[in-house]
Amino acid sequence: MSKKNILKFPKNFYWGASTSAHQVEGGNFNDWTEWEKKSSKSKVQNAKLENWSNYILENYPNPLQDNNYISGQACDHYTRYKEDFALAKSLNQNAHRFSIEWSRIEPEQGKFNQKEIEHYREVLLSLKERGLEPFVTLYHWTLPIWLAEKGGWLNPKTPYYFDRYVKIISENLFNEVDFWITINEPLVYAGDAYLKGFFPPQKKSIFKYFKVLNILAKAHQLAYKSLHLIDLDCQVGIAKNNIHFKNIFLAHYFWNKYFLNKIKKEQDFIGLNYYFHHRFFKGRKLLVSDLGWGFYPQGIYYLLKDLKKYKKPIYITENGLADIKDTKRIRFIKDHLKYIYQAIKEGVDVRGYFYWSLLDNFEWNKGFWPRFGLVEIDYKTMKRKIRPSAYEYAEICRENGVQLRKQIIK
C-alpha cells in the first residue's frame, strides 16, 4: 500500500470484529434454542412465499431448509475459539468483542456453573495471549430457560437476577476484562421480541415493549454499579443500535436517544452499532446488502457527531453487511471508516471499530443464510476460510489507517 493518502486513526485505536455467544458457539440450551425447534417449520413455510435470488438459494444452507433456522452447532466456536482467535490475530486485529452465555453460567436458578466460568476465563486468556483486547457483552439476547419461564424481561425481578449473574462473572473475571457491555441493542431486542413478534417470546404489545425497555434500563443501572464496586477502573457501556433518520426528528429522538438518556449517568462509553439509514427512505437507490439493507456510510458520521454531546468515548461495536460473494464488503468497511475518520477529525472521541462479524454465523430469526463474516464457514465441515475482504481489512488494522479511494474529506 502506498503511504500516500492514508487516513491515519488515533494512536492505540482498537481494531477488531464482534461475535455473540448464541450466534457462534453451538451446543447452547436457552430460550432461543427451544423456540427455534418449535418455529423452524413455520419459518420455512413463510420463506417459501418470499422472492429469493438464485445466488442465495444456490448456497448452503439455504433459507428453505428447516435446519437453516436451528442454531445447533452454529460455528462450533465453543470448541474452536483458539483457532478463531488465531485467525483474528493473523488478520492484525488487536481487540475482539464476544458475549458470555448466561444460560451456561446459570443453567438453573441460583446455581452457577464454575466449569463454564473457567471456560470463559480460558477464552479471555487466549485473547490476551494473542494481544486481542476483550470487549465482553453480558447479555446478547438469550436467556436461561428458567428465567424465560418466569417472564424474562417482563419480570420486574429480572434486573436483580441479571445483577447477581453479572456479579458472579465480574468477581471471577475482573482481572481479565477492562471493557464490559451490559446489554446489546435494547431497542432492537425489545422491538423484535415484544412489539413485532419476530423474536421469542413473540409478543405484540406496545405496553409490554415499554415495560421491557424500562426493565432493561434498570438491569443496566444495577450492573453498572456492581461492576464498578468490584473493579473501580473498568469501563462499562451498552451496545446501542442507532439508525440515521433524515428529517424525522421524533424517530431520531426515540430510537437513538431515549434509552441512552435513561442511562446517562451510568455509562463510561457508548458502543455504537450502525447498519443503516431509516427504512422509510424512498429517494435515490442505495447499494444494498444480501439482506436488502441499504448502504449509507454518511449516516455514521451524523450519528457520531450527535453522540458527541454525551461527552463519552465511543467504540463502534458493530458495523457490517451480509455479502456472500464478498464483492461489496471492503467498500462498505472503507466508506464507513472514512466517515468515522471525518467525525474524529471534527473532535468526536472514537476509540475503536469492530466489524460484524469475525465469522459467518446464525443470524437470529433469519438463520444461517446471511453471511456477515470476514471468515467464511463451511457448515458441513466447520472449515474456516478467510475472505478476500478480510485481508484488506487486515491492511487497515496494520496501518492503523485507511487508504483513500477517492477524496471525500475536505
CA atoms in the 13 A half-sphere facing the CB of 342: 20
Shortest CB 371 distance to ligand FCB, Å: 11
Using CB under 6 A as the binding criterion, the count of chain residues that bind ligand FCB stands at: 12
Closer to ligand FCB by Cβ: residue 123 or 344 = 123
Measured between its terminal Cα atoms, the distance across the chain in Å is 22
**CA dist., res. 300 & res. 330, Å (int):** 16
Over the window 374 to 403, marking each residue x when it contacts ligand FCB by CB under 6 A and - when it does not, the resulting string is ------------------------------
318 is known as an active-site residue: yes
Closer to ligand FCB by Cβ: residue 360 or 392 = 360
Shortest CB 290 distance to ligand FCB, Å: 11
Which residues have CB under 8 Å from 148's CB, separation 6+? Answer: 30, 31, 200, 201
Q: Which residues, 208 to 267, sit near ligand FCB by CB under 6 A?
A: 241
Q: What is the DSSP string of 42-87?
A: HHHHHHHTS---HHHHTSSSPTTSGGGG--TTTT-HHHHHHHHHHH
Choose the catalytic residue: 36, 133, 185, 392: 185
CA distances from 57 to 73, 85, 117, 197, 226 (A): 22, 30, 40, 26, 48
Closer to ligand FCB by Cβ: residue 104 or 401 = 104
Region of 77-85, 110-118, 183-191, 201-209 interacting with ligand FCB (CB under 6 A): 183-191
Backbone φ and ψ for 356, nearest 5 degrees, come out as -100, 110
Shortest CB 262 distance to ligand FCB, Å: 19
- The secondary structure of residue 141, as a DSSP letter, is S
Judged by CB under 6 A, which of 69, 269, 356, 369 binds ligand FCB? 356
Judged by CB under 6 A, which of 184, 221, 319, 342 binds ligand FCB? 184
Confirm or reject binding of residue 364 to ligand FCB (CB under 6 A): yes
Which SS3 state, helix, strand or coil, does residue 113 take?
coil
218 with 384: CB under 8 angstroms?
no
Residues known to be catalytic? 185, 318
Contact residues for ligand FCB, defined by CB under 6 A: 20, 23, 184-185, 188, 241, 273, 318, 356, 363-364, 372
